[in-house]
Amino acid sequence: MNDLDIVHEEETFVVVNKPSGLLSVPGRGPDMQDSVVSRLKLKYPQCIDQPSVHRLDMDTSGLQVLALTKESQRNITMQFQERRVEKTYLAIVDGIVDQDAGVIELAFRLDPDNRPFQIYDPVQGKLGTTRWRKLFNIDGVTHIEFTPLTGRTHQLRLHAAHELGLGCPIVGDRLYGSGTAPGQLKLHASWLAFDHPDTGERLSFQSQPLFF
């Protein structure tokens, strides 16, 4: 399957619903070339060489915006850098979360001896901030809504799993939890809002995960 689930389509950008287990951009090696970007280029031959303005982890599903022109790419990238893009994620974490809501602020950095694993480092790490609220508990797991205020690598996965965060890894997480294969992670980019790169109009998109 090389199809893309197109949520919204314009001349200068598209919004797609990425499935879990698909790379956002091509990786290294011939077996890592299938990705949102490579599929996008097949569907839109006029697309620029680097359409990605943000990425979702391979195992994370949900909404992703991609630029088709250089001007759109520059505009939306700037919106991400200036934190004008709003994102909400839905997740299932492995365990019972007692609190109803909160804010997690933890600093992490890459472990160079165990890439792409990130480790807690309050001195040299980059601070990540996430708002969260509990939706409900059921059968030993908790359904959570995450609103990241920063965009650090593996931020939500780390903030869920670490003992200074929720202390409950996201179900199916191969790095920080008990996941064993691609496509198991129960983390979905469910809401995305940004300014139209051409008109400035505020746009928002919503996607419901299959696992909720």
At 79 the three-state DSSP class reads helix
Percent of residues in the chain assigned helix, strand, coil, to nearest 5: 15, 35, 50
Q: Which amino acid is at 46?
A: Q
| Cα gap 78→85, rounded to integer Å | 10
108 in Cβ contact with 119 (< 8 Å): yes
**Annotation marks residue 139 as catalytic:** no
CA dihedral 149, 155, 160, 161 (to 10 degrees): -160
- Reading the block at residue 204, the tokens are 């928002």
Q: Which residues lie closer than 8 Å to 95 by C-beta, 6 or more apart?
A: 140, 141, 142, 166, 167, 168
Q: What is the DSSP letter of 52?
A: B
Tokens, residue 160 = 């869920």
What tokens appear for 31 in the block?
A: 């077996």
49, 57, 98, 121: the catalytic one is 57
Instruction: Enumerate the active-site residues.
Output: 57
